[in-house]
């Protein structure tokens, strides 16, 4: 006897054959998919305790979010129009004042948003600067029923904490010991450098050894050209990818986020290493980087690099993690930049599913609907406008579907969203706790939050950088900038 049978669905398995199965069923036993095929065959061979009649619905693998900052779930609507430097700076300043309670509330909210919008696995950036805060990310995501990789950042040069590299590595190892494989194996840990410029080669090598020993991924922002390359050359005397290579981190474990403005040599180096790239289109459109600095998607795709979509952060653009919007934006930007047809709808669908699983080393476990894999499945309402009439289902998923169409979500065979409602946690409680956490976070960060908007402090974010040394230099620079403005009348 199986546990669950999903019948009469249009199944898009995202398998190697790019099939679309009409009137198909999926049988689930425990955490696993035990059959996928025509309804008449599967339902004749499989009896189950529960049957979900998915007539008028599309079944897809649970979406994989390649990169997200969960603390930013509290930033909604407060940083629109800031541009890149200021968004990143205000984010670092707020991360520095986040308490464990604030991080727990943000993580639970973010997990709720993701599950409701069909994301079953997320690669979460380490917004936390200490172990006590980082563990709350694992707790919040795990409790909500999501699968997630929790990054813990190690930075021993201009680091946001006063901790030595040694102490940070010890905290990273502790997080691995306590949370890697926690929550029935759904939570994993990814100790990673905070950035190539902020982590010494010695620490990178020790992180690489830890990743090798424990079979972990390395999750980091990588800016091979802009805006970090100049700083990296000035401070470290090497290119960003050169530093990663010297630190033993440029390999198939590397999940490199953004790679803005990467050139041919960078693409070749990433492809040779077998590294994956995460592309987060909405956030870069919003901060206005322009086409010249756009990640070289066409070249990466041609070079066979695994490209994964990510939602990155919230603050005033696409609010709440939404991979349907990222899929559509990715496809439209690709046509805008390279001409129509460079990316096919199935290519984009893979970027939101199986590619993410591959990048995270979970290709055997999830990312497609195939016998033997975990039952990470989403069902979308698909029998109504605007997605009907529909002959090309992958195209309608990319260009027409939205997160509101997600009806049912299964993680490891367990129904966590039914009829669009989250079953694992109390949403009202999560929303109330998040409102409180946001007020606390912004007060600590020196912002004024009013009913009509949010006002950041008048000081530059560099002066509020979490590490005292950098903040002191930031204050000096800010004084110089103010003098310059007064002197030049700007
Ligand atoms: Zn990011």
Contacts of 204 (CB under 8 A, 6+ apart): 193, 243, 244, 246, 247, 248, 249
Position 17 scores a pLDDT of: 95
CA of residue 348 to ligand 1 center, whole Å: 20
Walk along the chain (490 residues) and give the pLDDT tens digit of each residue.
999 999 999 999 999 999 999 999 999 999 999 999 999 999 999 999 999 999 999 999 999 999 999 999 999 999 988 888 888 889 989 998 999 999 999 999 999 999 999 999 999 998 866 788 889 999 999 999 999 999 998 999 877 777 889 999 999 999 999 999 999 999 999 999 998 999 999 999 999 999 999 999 999 999 999 768 888 999 999 999 999 999 999 999 999 999 999 999 999 999 999 999 999 999 999 888 889 999 999 999 999 999 999 999 988 778 889 999 999 999 999 999 999 989 999 999 999 999 999 999 999 999 999 999 999 999 999 999 888 998 899 999 999 999 999 999 999 999 999 999 999 999 999 999 999 999 999 999 999 998 888 999 998 888 888 877 777 887 888 888 888 888 887 6
CA of residue 236 to ligand 1 center, whole Å: 22
Position 396 scores a pLDDT of: 96
* Per-residue pLDDT tens digits for 203-217: 999 999 999 999 999
Instruction: Give the CB-side neighbour count of residue 258, counting CA atoms within 13 A.
Output: 23
Domains 2-60+371-422 and 63-359 share a fold: no
CA of residue 440 to ligand 1 center, whole Å: 23
Position 128 scores a pLDDT of: 66
CA of residue 144 to ligand 1 center, whole Å: 22
CA of residue 443 to ligand 1 center, whole Å: 23
CA of residue 124 to ligand 1 center, whole Å: 9
CA of residue 326 to ligand 1 center, whole Å: 14
CA of residue 94 to ligand 1 center, whole Å: 14
Q: How far apart are the first and last CA of the chain?
A: 75
The residue extents of the domains of the chain are 2-60+371-422, 63-359, 462-490
Position 133 scores a pLDDT of: 87
DSSP state for residue 170 in the 8-state scheme = H
CA of residue 312 to ligand 1 center, whole Å: 5
CA of residue 425 to ligand 1 center, whole Å: 26
With contact defined as beta carbons under 8 Å apart, do 378 and 406 qualify? yes
- The CATH number of 2-60+371-422 is 2.30.40.10
CA of residue 112 to ligand 1 center, whole Å: 19
On the 0-12 / 13-18 / 19+ scale of CB atoms within 10 A, 243 is buried
DSSP state for residue 62 in the 8-state scheme = P
CA dihedral 458, 461, 466, 467 (to 10 degrees): -110
CATH superfamily, with its number, for domain 63-359: Metal-dependent hydrolases (3.20.20.140)
Position 159 scores a pLDDT of: 76
The Cα–Cα gap between 150 and 216 comes to 11
Position 161 scores a pLDDT of: 74
Query: In 3D, which of 79, 134, 77, 80 has the Cα closest to residue 107?
Result: 134
Position 175 scores a pLDDT of: 94
CA of residue 220 to ligand 1 center, whole Å: 8
Position 490 scores a pLDDT of: 64
CA of residue 311 to ligand 1 center, whole Å: 9
CA of residue 123 to ligand 1 center, whole Å: 10
CA of residue 489 to ligand 1 center, whole Å: 36
The Cα–Cα gap between 444 and 236 comes to 33
CA of residue 222 to ligand 1 center, whole Å: 10
């Amino acid at each position: 006897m199986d546990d669950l049978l999903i019948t009469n669905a249009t199944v898009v398995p995202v398998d190697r054959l790019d099939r679309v199965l009409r009137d198909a069923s999926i049988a689930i036993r425990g955490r696993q998919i035990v059959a996928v095929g025509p309804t008449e065959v599967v339902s004749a061979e499989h009896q189950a305790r529960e049957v979900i009649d998915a007539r008028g619905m599309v079944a897809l693998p649970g979406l994989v979010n390649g990169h997200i900052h969960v603390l930013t779930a509290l930033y909604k609507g407060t940083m629109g129009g800031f541009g890149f430097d200021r968004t990143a700076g205000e984010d670092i300043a707020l991360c520095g004042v986040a308490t464990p309670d604030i991080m727990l509330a943000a993580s639970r909210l973010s997990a709720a948003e993701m599950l409701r919008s069909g994301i079953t696995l997320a690669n979460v950036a380490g917004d936390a600067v200490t172990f006590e805060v980082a563990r709350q990310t694992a707790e919040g995501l795990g409790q909500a029923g999501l699968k997630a990789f929790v990054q813990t950042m190690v930075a021993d040069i201009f680091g946001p904490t006063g901790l030595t590299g040694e102490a940070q590595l010890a905290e990273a190892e502790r997080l691995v010991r306590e949370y890697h494989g926690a929550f029935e194996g759904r939570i994993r840990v990814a100790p990673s450098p905070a950035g190539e410029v902020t982590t010494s080669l010695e620490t990178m090598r020790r992180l690489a050894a830890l990743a090798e020993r424990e079979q972990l991924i390395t999750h980091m922002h990588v800016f091979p050209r802009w805006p970090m390359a100049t700083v990296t050359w000035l401070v470290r005397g090497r290119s960003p990818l050169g530093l990663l290579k010297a630190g033993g981190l440029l390999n198939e474990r590397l999940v490199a986020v953004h790679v803005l403005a990467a050139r041919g040599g960078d693409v070749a180096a990433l492809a040779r290493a077998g590294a994956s790239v995460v592309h987060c289109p909405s956030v870069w459109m919003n901060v206005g980087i322009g086409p010249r600095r756009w990640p070289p998607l066409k070249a990466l795709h041609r070079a066979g690099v695994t490209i994964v979509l990510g939602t990155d952060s919230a603050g005033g653009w696409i609010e709440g993690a939404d991979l349907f919007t990222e899929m559509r934006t990715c496809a439209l930007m690709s046509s805008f930049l390279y001409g129509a047809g460079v990316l096919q709808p199935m290519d984009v669908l893979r970027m939101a599913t199986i590619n993410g699983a591959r990048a995270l080393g979970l290709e055997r476990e999830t990312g497609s609907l195939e016998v033997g894999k975990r039952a990470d499945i989403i069902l979308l309402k698909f029998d109504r406008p605007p997605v009907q009439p529909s002959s090309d289902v992958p195209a309608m998923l990319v260009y027409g579907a939205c997160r509101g169409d997600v009806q049912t979500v299964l993680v490891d065979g367990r129904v966590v969203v039914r009829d669009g409602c989250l079953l694992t946690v109390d949403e009202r409680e999560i929303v109330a706790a998040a409102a409180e956490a946001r007020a606390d976070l912004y007060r600590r960060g020196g912002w004024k939050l009013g009913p009509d908007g949010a006002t950041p402090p008048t000081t530059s974010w560099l002066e509020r950088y979490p590490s005292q040394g950098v903040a002191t230099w930031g204050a000096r620079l800010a004084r110089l900038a103010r003098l310059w403005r007064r002197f030049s009348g700007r």
